[in-house]
């Protein structure tokens, strides 16, 4: 039986992924690649919507790919590639932009947040059409499911709308994908501001746990994480967002129930609990970091693997794009 198709990706927007990317995405991807025909991209074209030093962007792209592999994505099993290596992404994005409403794109909350923060002159058209490129990523591969954090849900819904609109107007060209949204407990918050989602582009580094960071630095950040004055290790997202966030990280990395962790630390202080969590995080990250560094030590080999995977991705993508070009009436080159 043919496996169902899965698509997801991450932006190479920092030197390291953060623990929210790891728990919210990579751990899921690693499991799902066993049952799905999975495509995972490093979305470097999307990363261009932020200011970048060109040499650094290249380095971040390799580092992101290396972290996928180090975290257990197998490039012989899943198709792990760099978005810009498959030109069909940018090409389909153009076609899709012609059926996307200006108002519709303007209602995307990530765009609204960012454009409000930067002001309209500093907001690029690329940031505005970002979700259309994301729709192209997903639709090129006739995707069944898109596992993402809930911050990306609206973009996947736009993708569904565009697929249905295109199919209705020009005839069936796309499979309509389903978002698979992580449960609420898989959303990781900033250690210093546990009401804000942890993000690669956070203003301060103090609350972000980096996958590739020095273990001692991560331990220190955990010991300094914001908690509360109650002193009890208890899950209560509303009243104890800091402790709840740490419990979620602990549970996700160990596969344990939150209640069992609460029991273990009952009657003990936050110091003990944080030390326990720091040990868990270090044990989880250390082999990933070592493997990523190893891969980055041989960039030619990494580039070779990415090239093979890009060729595999392009085969699927080009077939969809050819159908789309035909459907909309572009003249075939003789
Ligand atoms: P990006 O690079 O911001 O994040 C990658 C993935 O990590 C999840 N994530 C989190 N999960 C839990 N807690 C957090 N604090 C946290 N921070 C990030 C995100 O939900 C995401 O699943 N637009 C996308 C990239 C993209 C894409 C795609 C995804 C481009 N094309 C096609 C899926 C399909 C983005 O910026 O993700």
Query: DSSP of 118-155, one letter per residue?
Result: H-TTTS-HHHHHHHHHHHHHHHHTT-SEEEE-GGGHHH
The CB of 111 under 6 Å from ligand 1? The reply is no
pLDDT of residue 185: 64
pLDDT of residue 186: 76
| Cα 299 to Cα 12, 16, 39, distances in angstroms | 16, 16, 21
The CB of 198 under 6 Å from ligand 1? The reply is yes
The CB of 100 under 6 Å from ligand 1? The reply is no
pLDDT of residue 240: 97
Q: Ligand 1 centroid vs 283 CA: distance in angstroms? A: 24
Choose, from 77, 112, 114, 220, the residue flagged as catalytic: 114
Q: 305, 31 in Cβ contact below 8 A? A: no
pLDDT of residue 121: 84
Is 153 annotated in the active site? no
Atom number, ligand 1, closest to the C-alpha of residue 148: 22
pLDDT, tens only, 164-185: 999 999 999 999 999 998 776 6
Is 200 annotated in the active site? yes
Flag residues of the chain having pLDDT under 70.
184-185
């Amino acid at each position: 039986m043919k496996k169902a198709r899965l698509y997801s990706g991450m932006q190479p927007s920092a030197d390291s992924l953060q623990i929210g990317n790891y728990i919210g995405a990579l751990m899921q991807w690693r499991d799902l690649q066993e049952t799905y025909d999975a495509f995972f991209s490093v979305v470097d074209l999307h990363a261009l919507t932020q200011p970048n030093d060109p040499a650094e962007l290249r380095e971040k792209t390799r580092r992101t790919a290396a972290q996928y592999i180090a975290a257990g994505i197998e490039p012989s099993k899943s198709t792990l590639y760099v978005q810009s290596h498959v030109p069909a992404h940018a090409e389909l994005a153009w076609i899709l932009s012609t059926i996307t409403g200006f108002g519709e794109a303007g209602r995307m909350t990530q765009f609204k947040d960012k454009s409000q923060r930067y002001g309209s002159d500093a907001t690029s058209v690329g940031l505005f059409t970002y979700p259309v490129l994301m729709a192209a990523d997903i639709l090129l591969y006739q995707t069944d499911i898109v596992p993402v954090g809930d911050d990306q849900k609206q973009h996947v819904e736009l993708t569904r709308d565009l697929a249905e609109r295109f199919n209705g107007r020009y005839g069936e060209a796309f499979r309509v994908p389903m978002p698979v949204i992580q449960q609420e407990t898989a959303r990781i918050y900033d250690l210093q501001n546990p009401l804000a989602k942890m993000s690669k582009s956070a203003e301060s580094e103090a609350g972000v746990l980096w996958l590739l960071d020095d273990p001692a630095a991560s331990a220190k950040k955990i010991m300094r994480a914001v908690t509360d004055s109650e002193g009890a290790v208890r899950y209560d997202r509303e009243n104890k967002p800091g402790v709840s966030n740490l419990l979620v990280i602990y549970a996700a990395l160990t596969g344990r129930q939150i209640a069992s962790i609460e029991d273990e630390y009952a009657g003990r202080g936050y110091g003990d609990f944080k030390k326990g969590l720091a040990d868990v995080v270090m044990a989880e990250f250390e082999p990933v970091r070592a493997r990523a560094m190893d891969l980055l030590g041989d960039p030619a080999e990494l580039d070779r693997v990415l090239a093979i995977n890009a060729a595999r991705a392009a085969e699927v993508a080009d077939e969809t794009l050819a159908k789309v070009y035909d459907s909309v009436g572009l003249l075939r080159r003789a």
